[in-house]
Chain A
């Protein structure tokens, strides 16, 4: 059996990362079979019921060879590179050594392209690849595993600290290009790192599929940021799948601003006393459709999960939040707190929010709170009572609603970059940046 994607990828078969490795070809083949059988999810799949991916079958998105990359606007790319970071750049799904900068990486840390890692340490990759994802579930993991062209491999040795963040920039250069990448991030025991994924593209219709598998070993801590600034015509499917060992910490910040259709999955399995903190901000304008799906799996006792996702939806945009928290029978003393708040700025905007708690343990604390609505009238009045007119008060509060999530970013260059993005999306607010 074939479909348009197996045909499209046929020409890349020998240039996919690790194409000489038999074990990898096997798991790619399994994934391909799985994908050809089930395709992309449909609205009938419970976890995809709000997001229609039909565009992926209607349009002829196709991968490109590393030798066929489109024009790279280096100045534009440089503008998104953050100060005080190491940089990995992927163009149309292919690692670009020339645009990347890894000078001075400590010996205790490995950062390389996935292709290079598959050559240098195939056994390490084999141990992790596909272990955090599940290709049988409706989604895009099977597609990704079948045909990822490349990606990034990060390994931080036990007790090592990556003292500057790593920024992974994804750039798509042409219309109808399909960029499909797979990253592996492994933090050994008591290691720490911050990694930022930035998604960019030309002003065309293209598609990004990105899977990041994360393994946070005992007592290690990872801050992972995602800044999705795709073109406003693009389709974006991004997944982060995390395995957290005992006492580990995982903080995720998901800023979803671009693309006409964007979906982000964040799944984490929590070991004993592990902590996760999932934050999200989505800003919808025009006809954007932004779907965030999180799954927090309390497998062991004493783990703590915190989640706050906020959406501001204008025009005819639609925001979707699905948050699942599963607490296994043995996961006693779980402490879980999930919130999703949506602000609708237009009568035609829509928010769909679905918290799901599945609790099989009996001694747990699980809270959740969901709101969809307008600004708080008390707060508007409080500002008016200080001389600020109603329109300015509303603008200030709308900005503040989003800015709460921006303020959670501890790395200043990223904080400032996201703040500019948010300000640019609320031009009417007249926020005086100098005083924030």
Chain B
């Protein structure tokens, strides 16, 4: 699905990613853990095409294409989805408006007709239930006045409607209480299938109790310093990031 090779990324003169190598085959869930400042969010931003980062070396191949050459909206239309760590508020645009505009942009890209209004409403109302959100959310301005948990659910709702093939979850679990975490995790788990891949960025091992990763990576100082199975997350939690950093040093 996605192949990251020797990726070096800077912000201004400061090198953040210093040679990341990562392969995520279709259908797999990979978790990236790491201390603050390791470059986790930079990786998610670079993959989704946010401005302000310079790729100095390396490549990212997604479904056989050079991902880094695509505009952010083209990446999204090709199935890359970033669930934001800090979803933005957009007063003046309702959730349902954004969902429909986004879905139609993707359908147009695929050469499909705009979604039928009634079908769309039925789809959205069905999906919103699975995330235990009230229908009223659809008619409220995007994220305006939402709690932290509601914002994160809203990101997953968007993923559920847009059905991307590669989901980047950027600290989707941060700040969630256990009930919200269960709902969000169930939403993500419902999306798992053999054609869809996930990159989960998190601080907390707790998330991995609810969304079982196939592979866990540790990112430290701009590089993946250790990879392993789900047990690696537990070991990290027990021993702390110093343990990995010391091993590497």
Q: Which residues of A contact B (CB under 8 A)?
A: 376-379, 381-390, 392-393, 396-397, 399-404, 406-407, 432, 434-436
What is the 8 Å Cβ interface bit string for chain B, positions 46-76, against chain A (1 contact, 0 not)?
0011110000000000000000000111011
Within B76-94, the residues touching A (CB, 8 Å) are: 76-77, 81-82, 84, 87-88, 90-94
| CB nearest to B52 among chain A residues | A377
Bound-complex Cα distance A406 to B90 (A)? 14
Q: Give CA–CA (A390, B81) in the complex, Å.
A: 17
Give the contacts of B26-52 with A (CB-CB under 8 A). 48-51
Q: Say whether A396 contacts B93, CB under 8 Å.
A: yes
Which residue of B is nearest A384, CB measured? B72
Helix, strand, loop or mixed for chain B's interface?
Answer: helix
For the complex formed, measure the closest distance between the CB of B60 and the CB atoms of chain A, giving whole angstroms. 16
Q: Which of A387, A396, A399, A404 contacts B73 (CB 8 A)?
A: A387
Q: How far is the CB of A418 from chain B (nearest CB, A)?
A: 13
Contacting pair B76 A387 (CB below 8 A): yes
Task: Considering the complex, give the chain B residue whose CB is closest to the CB of A397.
Answer: B90
Of the listed stretches B102-110, B174-182, B185-193, B228-236, chain A binds: B102-110
Smallest Cβ-Cβ distance to A376: which chain B residue: B88
Any A CB within 8 A of the CB of B11: no
Q: A400-B141, A436-B94 are in contact. List 13 more A-B contacts (CB 8 A).
A: A381-B50, A383-B90, A384-B49, A385-B49, A385-B73, A386-B98, A386-B158, A387-B77, A399-B92, A399-B93, A400-B90, A404-B92, A435-B100
Contacts of A396 in B (CB 8 A): 93, 101
CB distance from A375 to the nearest CB of B (A): 11
Which of chain A's residues have a CB closer than 8 A to the CB of B49?
381, 384-385
Taking CB as reference atom, which chain A residue is nearest B161? A386
Q: Is B128 an interface residue (CB 8 A)?
A: no
Which listed residue, A389, A432, A436, touches B105 by the CB 8 Å rule? A389
Shortest C-beta distance, A342 to chain B (Å), equals 15
Query: Chain B: interface residue count, which band?
Result: 20 to 34
Residue of A nearest to B84 (CB): A382
The answer to whether B106 and A387 touch across the interface, beta carbons within 8 angstroms, is yes
Pair B73/A403 contact, Cβ less than 8 Å: no
Q: List 9 A-B contacts (CB under 8 A).
A: A384-B76, A385-B76, A386-B158, A389-B71, A392-B101, A402-B92, A407-B141, A432-B101, A436-B94
- Chief secondary structure at chain A's binding surface: helix
Cβ of A386 and Cβ of B76 under 8 Å apart?
yes
Q: Which residues of A contact B102 (CB under 8 A)?
A: 383, 386-388
Q: What residues of A have a CB within 8 angstroms of the CB of B81 in the complex?
A: 385
Q: In the complex, which of the residues B50, B91, B98, B100 contacts A404, with contact meaning CB atoms closer than 8 Å? A: B91
Q: Are A403 and B72 in contact (CB under 8 A)?
A: no
Chain B residue at smallest Cβ distance from A393: B73
Please name all residues of chain A whose beta carbon is closer than 8 Å to the beta carbon of B75 when the two chains form the complex.
385
A435 near B96: Cβ-Cβ < 8 Å: yes
Which residue on chain B has the smallest CB distance to residue A378? B88
* B162 close to chain A: CB less than 8 A: yes
Chain A residues whose C-beta falls within 8 Å of the C-beta of B48 in the assembled complex: 385
Question: Is B90 a contact partner of A379 (Cβ separation < 8 A)?
Answer: yes
Check A389/B73 contact, CB under 8 A, given A404-B141, A435-B96.
Answer: yes
